[in-house]
Structure 1
Amino acid sequence: MAVIKIALYQKNLHKRFTLDEIIKVQQSKAQFLLLPEGFPHLFQSVSPIDGAKHEKEYQDHLLEISEKFSGVILGGSHYRKNENGKLVSALPIVQSLVLVDFYEKKTPSTTIDVGVASGSTESIFIMGGLRFGLLLGEDLNNDSIWSEFQKENIEIIFHLDATNPNKSYEEDLSFYESLAKEKNIHLVRVCGPSEGKPARSLYASPSGINWKVGKLEEDKEVFKTLSVNVMRSYLL
């Protein structure tokens, strides 16, 4: 069994990291930093295609964090045109000042991701000595991804998400608790407050909800370092 330190930042999607916040992340000595879907949305873009124009600015901010934090940054998401020229919602993966890879959202939102194509990247990655699965937003409901996770015996999954305001706090907790038990997985979810929308970051495992943002913290920025015990996935 190995203990993985995972830092998650329930960060406002429109606010840059300050130097003090970057130092806080650095001092956590975590192996992973998770940022919410849509971070860093530093520009008020009117559409995904417009947002893609700011790809470099988004990535530069993640590299700025990486100057101090040596772990793996699963850096939220932004719109970009991939190598095939398709507009996708992409999750940049950064480590040691290098943009290592992207995970592309497979299940674009019909209301928010207008004109965005389904991604074609792998959903399983090996970094920081850990084999893990990635889900971005609505990918949580994609059966083909879950089939892949099950086939490959993935033990820990990171879900970078935006909270559905139509679900109550209690409904969200109950759903993730049941899902982690049903799939026998560790599921770490990170969200970001934005424009009045709640954020409900949490960590669910087969034994239940191990940590959650309090009901009075849904509209706040929250930094948390988790210690997750994994058995099958850690590569020595």
Structure 2
Amino acid sequence: MAVIKIAIYQKNLHKRFTPDEISKIQQSKAHFLLLPEGYPHFFQSVSPSDAAKHEKEYQDHLLEISEKFTGVILGGSHYRKNEDGNLVSALPIVQSLVLVDFYEKKTPNEKIDLGTKPGKTESIFIMGGLRFGILLGEDLKNESIWEEFKKENIEIIFHLDSIRSERTYEEDLSFYESLAKTKNIHLIRVCGPSDGIAARSLYASPSGINWKVGKVEEDKDVFKTLSVNVMRSYLL
């Protein structure tokens, strides 16, 4: 068994990290930093294709964090053209000032991710000595990804999300608690508040809800470092 320190930052999608906030991340000495779907989104883009023009600015801010934080950054998401020339919603993975890889969203939101194509990248990664799965937004509903996780015996899954469901706060907790128990996984979800949209970051495990933001924190920035015990996924 290994203990993995995972820092999650429930962060307003439109606000940059300040030097003090980056220092707070650095001091956590976590192995991973998770940022919400849609972070960073600093520009008033009219469409995903327009937002893709700012790809470098988004990535530069993640690299700014990486100057101080040595762990793996799962850096929210932004729109970009992939190697096939398709517009996708992509999650950049950064470590030690290097943009290591991308995870591409496989289940675009019909109302938000306009003009984007389903991604074709792997959903399972090995970094920081950990083997883990990634879900971005609506990927949570993608059964083919869950089948892959089950086949590969994935124990820990990171869900970078933005809330667009009709579930109440209590229903959300019940849903994630049931999901983690049924699939026997550690499921860590991070969201970001934006324009009145709630954020409900949480950590669910087979034993239940281990941590959650409170109802009064749904519209606030919240930083939390979690200690997660993994048995199968840690690689010595």
Measured against the shorter chain, the TM-score band is: over 0.9
Q: Residues 4-44 of structure 1, C-alpha deviation per residue, up to 9 Å, x if partnerless?
A: 00000000000000000000000000000000000000111
d(CA) in 2 for partners of 1:176 and 1:167? 11
Q: How big is the shift at 1:165?
A: 5.1
- One-letter identity of the residue aligned with 2:11: K
Residue equivalent to 2:205: 205
SS at match of 1:34: strand
Identity, in percent, stands at 83
- One-letter identity of the residue aligned with 1:26: Q
Matched, 1:220 2:197: no
d(CA) in 1 for partners of 2:21 and 2:165? 27
- One-letter identity of the residue aligned with 1:105: K
Q: Residues 38-92 of structure 1, C-alpha deviation per residue, up to 9 Å, x if partnerless?
A: 0000111110000000000000000000000000000000000000000000000
- One-letter identity of the residue aligned with 1:64: E
d(CA) in 2 for partners of 1:134 and 1:77? 12
Matched, 1:180 2:185: no
Matched, 1:235 2:235: yes
Residue equivalent to 1:102: 102
Residue equivalent to 2:149: 149
Gaps of 5+ in 1: none
| Count of residues in correspondence between the two structures | 236
Matched, 1:82 2:86: no
Residue equivalent to 1:22: 22
Residue equivalent to 1:33: 33
d(CA) in 2 for partners of 1:122 and 1:28? 29
Gaps of 5+ in 2: none
d(CA) in 2 for partners of 1:61 and 1:73? 12
d(CA) in 2 for partners of 1:60 and 1:35? 15
Q: How big is the shift at 1:209?
A: 0.1
The alignment yields a C-alpha RMSD, in angstroms, of: 0.5
SS at match of 1:166: coil
d(CA) in 1 for partners of 2:167 and 2:46? 26
Q: How big is the shift at 1:167?
A: 1.5
Q: How big is the shift at 1:164?
A: 2.3
Residue equivalent to 1:54: 54
Alignment of 1:59-74 (within 5 A): 59-74=59-74
- Give TM-score scaled by structure 2 length: 1.00
- One-letter identity of the residue aligned with 2:78: H
- One-letter identity of the residue aligned with 2:69: F
Q: Residues 171-195 of structure 1, C-alpha deviation per residue, up to 9 Å, x if partnerless?
A: 1000000000000000000000000
SS at match of 2:188: strand
Q: Residues 203-224 of structure 1, C-alpha deviation per residue, up to 9 Å, x if partnerless?
A: 0000000000000000000000
d(CA) in 2 for partners of 1:125 and 1:45? 31
- One-letter identity of the residue aligned with 1:91: L
- Give TM-score scaled by structure 1 length: 1.00
Aligned 8 A contact 1:10 1:201 in 2: yes
- One-letter identity of the residue aligned with 1:129: G
- One-letter identity of the residue aligned with 2:21: E
Residue equivalent to 2:124: 124
d(CA) in 2 for partners of 1:141 and 1:165? 12
